[in-house]
Amino acid sequence: MPRIHDVPIDKRLRNTDLRNTEGDGMEARTATLTEIRDWLTDYLAAKLERSPEEMDTTENLMHSGVDSLTMVALGLSIEETFEFEIEPDFFGRFSTIDEVAKALHDRVHSSAQEAGGDGA
């Protein structure tokens, strides 16, 4: 049985890497809420073999066909892309693409404020 790290990433997903600094991507730490939502939507659409337009960002991920293996892969991709660990109950607290995007956006931007020393 292949481990999750042995599964190749879909070519389409590599094109949506938020950490790409070669002009055709952006830094995850400066990503907008819309960019994060689009990245999540593209990621899950590719995993579910759907078009991004078919994804309902307000639907519970488990009800939209995302299985536990895909959730683990998404969690690992989030940790790698955004360079922080997510809690074991993350997807229990944030169960839609919109909720996950907002949680990631808030965390990225609160981390950036702390690193920059800007308390406002």
Residuewise pLDDT in 10s, the chain (120 residues) = 333 344 343 433 444 455 444 444 557 888 999 999 999 999 999 999 999 999 999 999 999 999 999 999 999 999 999 989 999 999 999 999 999 999 999 999 887 666 665 444
- Predicted confidence at residue 23, as pLDDT, reads 42
Of all helices (H) and strands (E), which one includes residue 110? helix 97-116
* The predicted structure's pLDDT at residue 29: 80
Domain of 88 in residue numbering reads as 4-116
Best CA proximity match to 103, nearest among 120, 116, 87, 118: 87
Residue 86: which CATH number?
1.10.1200.10
Both tokens of residue 89? 């109950």
> What tokens does 88 get?
């074991």
DSSP letter, residue 10:
P
* Separation of CA 114 from chain center: 22
Q: 31, 18 in Cβ contact below 8 A?
A: yes
Q: Would you state the pLDDT for residue 27?
A: 76
pLDDT at 93: 97
Distances (CA, A) of 33 to 20, 54, 68, 99: 17, 20, 25, 11
Strand, helix or coil for residue 86: coil
* Encoded tokens for 22: 């070669």
- 60 phi and psi angles, rounded to 5 deg: -55, 130
Structural domain count of the chain:
1
pLDDT at position 18 is 52
> What was the pLDDT predicted at 20?
46
